[in-house]
Amino acid sequence: MEDLLGIDHLNQSDADAAPMLDVFTKSPDFTSYNAIIPGSLCAAPVDPNLVPACKSAGAKISPKVKELHNAAWWAEKFQGYDFRDADRNDAETFNRVLWEGTMGDLPYPTKRSGLDLRRRRAQLLKRWKAAQDSRNTATTVQQ
Q: What tens digit of pLDDT does each residue of 20-36 get?
A: 777 778 888 888 877 88
pLDDT interval class at 11 (50, 70, 90): confident
pLDDT of residue 45: 76
- Report how far residue 4's alpha carbon sits from residue 25's, in angstroms, rounded to the nearest whole number: 12
Residues 50-60: tens digit of each pLDDT: 888 888 888 89
Half-sphere exposure of 107 (CA within 13 A, CB side): 3
- Residue 120's SS3 state is coil
pLDDT interval class at 78 (50, 70, 90): very high
pLDDT of residue 142: 47
Residues 6+ apart with CB under 8 A from 15: 9
Question: Is the distance from CB of 39 to CB of 64 less than 8 angstroms?
Answer: yes
Sign of CA dihedral 103, 105, 106, 112: positive
| Spatial CA neighbour of 2 closest among 12, 116, 15 | 15
- Residue 38's SS3 state is coil
pTM above the 0.75 mark?
no
Residue 20 CA from chain centroid, whole number: 19
Residue 46 clears pLDDT 60, i.e. is over it = yes
pLDDT of residue 100: 93
- Report how far residue 83's alpha carbon sits from residue 78's, in angstroms, rounded to the nearest whole number: 10
- Report how far residue 132's alpha carbon sits from residue 112's, in angstroms, rounded to the nearest whole number: 21
pLDDT of residue 143: 47
pLDDT interval class at 135 (50, 70, 90): low
Which of residues 140 and 98 earns the better pLDDT score? 98
pLDDT of residue 96: 92
